[in-house]
Structure 1
Amino acid sequence: MTQEIHGTVADGFEAVREEFAAFVAGELPDYEGQLCAYVHGRKVVDLWAGEGVDGGSLYAVFSSTKGAAHLVAALLVQDGTLELDRKVTYYWPEFAAEGKGGLTLRDLLAHRAGLVGLDAGFTAQELADDRAVAERLADQRPFWRPGTAFGYHALVIGALSGEVVRRATGRTLQEVYEERIRAPHSLDFFLGLPDALEPRYRPVQPMTPTAPQQAVLDAQPSGPHTLSSIAFNTHVPEPGDLEGHANSRAVRAKGPASAGGVGAARGLAGMYAAAISEVDGRAPLLKPDTVAEVGQIHSVGYDLVARAHRSYGLGFQATAEAWYPFLGAGAFGHSGAGGSQAFADPRSGLAYGYTRRRMAFPGGAAPENERLVKAVHTAALAS
């Protein structure tokens, strides 16, 4: 049975609804997902599909959480509370252990610290708690000379930048996000989901790869002590899985800033709209110089963890370089392992958010985002 598409689009964005409907029609019968977009601060797309879903349903967004974390960092840099070219040890003296004393905050945010995980690994309880992760990483020897290369700090970058935020402000990153970003804009995107909102959470469903997809997964290089296994904490005796991490109430309650956020597509898109545009009479969170700074590519080339070409700004993915080359230079955001995608394209004024319930193959931004982003961007330019 064809799933019904719910929600609204503004005049001129009808093709986006058609593209979303065409994609949903070809998906598994139990597909659940949401798509939202703003252009110059005006909501122009707000769509969803799936039984029991509405525009306010909440999903684990995995690494799309990093966008919220580093919007906090950007605000504090803009305020002058943080300085990008100061050494991390200026804020966090204990970080100097094991040869890390020369690393700047700029390099830390750009995944250049070489501190992707622990030799001994983390427990599941530690991964739910950014303070515990940061405390243990302070004593870890980096896996490459800090600042000389880069690699995706998948499960720890939010804890590292969050500890700098805590040392500089006396507040956790999650508290600053709530006070300065989420609450003022009433965003359905949480770094720490309140108990009262638990009924709106839709637990992650595991990926169901086809036989050819499973063959691709099986052929991927792996090993118990690789940088990738350390970065994703799969080298421990009981590594768990991403679905279990997201579906843990402890993770949702604490909102670890690398991959513990919970939100709706409305919340993701609304956050990036608020970052770059006036929304409902509120001035943009970021000034033009700050927008340019965070979207500027800081690390590009061979990612030592992903073993592939990657690109990062200051805590954000460089979205045009990483995913969608038709976007404007300086677009910034972050995808998530479950398939979510969220970003701002300052040149077109576009802010985009996408969520889905079932994990997408092969991981990271779900492939359908390519066609959905293209449809939204084309309509945005035409409008």
Structure 2
Amino acid sequence: MSDTHVHGTVADGFERVREEFAAVVTAQRGQVGAQLAAYAHGRRVVDLWAGTDVAGDTLTCVYSATKGAATLVTALLVQEGVLSLDEPVARHWPEFAAAGKDAITLRDVLSHRSGVIGVDGGLTAAELADDAVIARRLAGQRPYWRPGSAYGYGGFVTFAVVNEVIRRATGQSLQQVYEQRVRAPYGLDLYLGLPESEEGRFRPIEWWTATPEQEAAFWSNLPGPQSILGIGYGLNSTPPLDQVAFANTRAVRANGPASAGGVGSARGLAGLYAAAVWGMDGQPPLLTPDTVGEFAQLHSVGADLVRGEQGNYALGFQAKGLRYPFLSANAFGHDGSAGAESFADPRGGIAFGYTRRRYGFAWSYPEHDRLAAAVHAAVAAS
């Protein structure tokens, strides 16, 4: 039986956000299971959830919204001088220089301009669950286009490259730095490596619902597994990657691969961006305004070789000011293919997090626009 009742709280002046969330849940007939959280200038003002078997502290797969947490770790290390954006990756990781990759910089990787989006023959689900294994496979791979000449989204492998650079530079994995410097100090319900003790709060994601005719028409029109899109999304392996089965695997949750293996809640996603820009619960902001400005700056715009016109990237983050024109130009964040959305608008004072447990048909999530606009309007009015 579906549950369309909305639970949780909103601050005074944010009642319209609750109404919009309720409308979204009703349209989904309570079958999706969703959470929405938002901060205004560092203060949590929205904390809502609805749907069968979903609570405010339910954890689920956030897929590429994980890249926001991974980018935050990278930005923190750049801010401290541990990493340099314009230094070749191979300076830390000599094996990466093979096959014409010697000049690729960390900035190239973060802006999706490296051409390193997968490997010939594909990566199995087991390999994609472990950043260190991905890195070993990528080391000898020739880029799929001349580095710097264009950009294309590397859905499953980009932050395995970043992780290997961090490991070589610090002796710790990206996940370890995130846990010690970001998640634990700020109490974030967003994990890059879910402890066994938290498994009871985890709920799996599910495929969309569609008619057999819709399904057949959709899959028949997708590019082939050996296409640029197929390589970028892990479809060139045998068998092609099942995105739902992959994310719901305990090994993925336990390892927390930095491109797509994060597990969290809307509270955790919104809290990540609040901690980055404004700080939380007496803790200072993780990033300085200069670092925020650098990582929020547009780097790769226009047609994406992998995703077509869906691109537009800052540094590691997506450029949310282009995605949502009502936000400020320097808004930044990252969504996830299962329907998560998260961002910060430093000028507007917004930190936003949304999760859902069921894919939208053809990866379509029109409620993102509605909910982001409602939160923006409420914060602007307050």
Identity %: 56
Q: CA deviation at 1:22?
A: 1.2
For 1:88-237, what aligned pairs fall within 5 Å after superposition?
A: 88-210=89-211, 214=215, 217-218=218-219, 220-237=221-238
Q: CA deviation at 1:31?
A: 2.6
Partner of 1:273: 274
Contact 1:300 1:309 in 2 (8 A): no
Q: CA deviation at 1:256?
A: 0.3
Tell me the alpha carbon deviations over residues 242-277 of structure 1, each in whole angstroms, 9 at most, x when there is no partner: 100111000000000010000000000001000000
Partner of 1:360: 360
Matching of residue 297 in structure 1 with residue 283 in structure 2: no
Matching of residue 3 in structure 1 with residue 4 in structure 2: yes
For 1:3-82, what aligned pairs fall within 5 Å after superposition?
A: 3-82=4-83
Q: CA deviation at 1:210?
A: 4.8
How far apart are the structure 2 equivalents of 1:270 and 1:289? 20
Partner of 2:249: 248
Higher mean C-alpha displacement, 147-156 vs 211-220: 211-220
Q: CA deviation at 1:120?
A: 1.4
Q: CA deviation at 1:213?
A: 5.1
Matching of residue 381 in structure 1 with residue 371 in structure 2: no
Q: CA deviation at 1:278?
A: 2.9
How far apart are the structure 2 equivalents of 1:143 and 1:351? 35
Partner of 1:325: 325
Higher mean C-alpha displacement, 263-272 vs 90-99: 90-99
Q: CA deviation at 1:310?
A: 1.4
Amino acid at match of 1:66: K
Q: CA deviation at 1:23?
A: 1.3
Contact 1:342 1:354 in 2 (8 A): yes
Higher mean C-alpha displacement, 136-145 vs 207-216: 207-216
Contact 1:40 1:278 in 2 (8 A): no
Tell me the alpha carbon deviations over residues 305-333 of structure 1, each in whole angstroms, 9 at most, x when there is no partner: 11225111111111121x21111011111
How far apart are the structure 2 equivalents of 1:45 and 1:204? 23
Tell me the alpha carbon deviations over residues 101-128 of structure 1, each in whole angstroms, 9 at most, x when there is no partner: 1111111110011011011111211100
Alignment partner of 1:134: what SS? helix
Amino acid at match of 2:366: P
For 1:252-267, what aligned pairs fall within 5 Å after superposition?
A: 252-267=253-268
How far apart are the structure 2 equivalents of 1:154 and 1:187? 24
Tell me the alpha carbon deviations over residues 144-198 of structure 1, each in whole angstroms, 9 at most, x when there is no partner: 1111111001000110111111111110000000001000011100000000111
Tell me the alpha carbon deviations over residues 354-381 of structure 1, each in whole angstroms, 9 at most, x when there is no partner: 00111122226x2211100000000011
Amino acid at match of 1:360: G
The change in CA–CA distance for 1:89 and 1:220 in structure 2 (over 3 A counts) is same
How far apart are the structure 2 equivalents of 1:209 and 1:315? 33
Contact 1:36 1:354 in 2 (8 A): yes
Amino acid at match of 1:348: G
> TM-score, structure 2 length as denominator?
0.97
How far apart are the structure 1 equivalents of 2:247 and 2:142? 28
Alignment partner of 2:301: what SS? strand
Tell me the alpha carbon deviations over residues 57-107 of structure 1, each in whole angstroms, 9 at most, x when there is no partner: 001000000000010000000000011111111111111100011111111
Structure 2: which 5+ residue stretches go unaligned?
none
Alignment partner of 2:133: what SS? helix
How far apart are the structure 2 equivalents of 1:178 and 1:153? 24
Contact 2:3 2:31 in 1 (8 A): no
Alignment partner of 1:312: what SS? coil
Higher mean C-alpha displacement, 167-176 vs 227-236: 227-236
Give the aligned length.
381
Higher mean C-alpha displacement, 209-218 vs 99-108: 209-218
Q: Which contiguous aligned blocks of 4+ residues in structure 1 show a shift greater than 4 angstroms? A: 210-213
Amino acid at match of 1:331: A
The change in CA–CA distance for 1:11 and 1:89 in structure 2 (over 3 A counts) is same
Partner of 1:371: 370
Contact 1:38 1:352 in 2 (8 A): yes
How far apart are the structure 2 equivalents of 1:235 and 1:98? 20
Could you say what the CA RMSD is over the residues aligned between the two structures, in angstroms?
1.4
How far apart are the structure 2 equivalents of 1:210 and 1:162? 40
Q: CA deviation at 1:240?
A: 3.2
Tell me the alpha carbon deviations over residues 264-313 of structure 1, each in whole angstroms, 9 at most, x when there is no partner: 00000001000000321111101000011111011111111112251111
Contact 2:30 2:52 in 1 (8 A): no
Alignment partner of 2:246: what SS? helix
Q: CA deviation at 1:223?
A: 1.5
